[in-house]
Amino acid sequence: MPEPSVPDHTSSSSASVATDRPGRYGKQLAAHLSRRSTTEWDDATGTGSIQFTGGRATLTSGDGALDLHLAATDTEHLAVLEGVVGRHLVRFGSRDELVVRWVRADGAPGTVHRRGD
């Protein structure tokens, strides 16, 4: 998954969430977070983004997975964004028991979100 070019963002992480409905969850995540953030979702390409204060998420629906990439101003914001995106996605996909496992750009594990956490 390519990293987006986002100025002034020094920390990043990615997650690939296995699901049979990646487009549905990407669209739902973008729509839900649009109340507090600037979001985009394109049904034709299955891609979107969420602009947060202190960071940005890109969403890409693929074959059997929703790929997520976060870029943040620092590791503190990155952990917050992992939590926001991960918890919402797990809640939406509770029936499908989605698991969001973040991996930082340096290969270190990020946070993990699953039903019941």
In the chain, where are the structural domains located? 12-114
CATH number of 12-114: 3.30.310.50
pLDDT at 18 over 80: yes
pTM, two decimals, is: 0.89
With H, G, I as helix, E, B as strand and everything else as coil, classify residue 112. Answer: strand
Q: Binning pLDDT at 50, 70 and 90, where does residue 3 land? A: very low
Please report how many Cα atoms fall inside a 13 Å half-sphere around the Cα of residue 17, on the Cβ side: 35
75-92 and 22-33 helices, crossing angle to 10°: 120
- Average pLDDT of the segment spanning 53-72: 96
Percent of the chain exceeding pLDDT 70 equals: 92
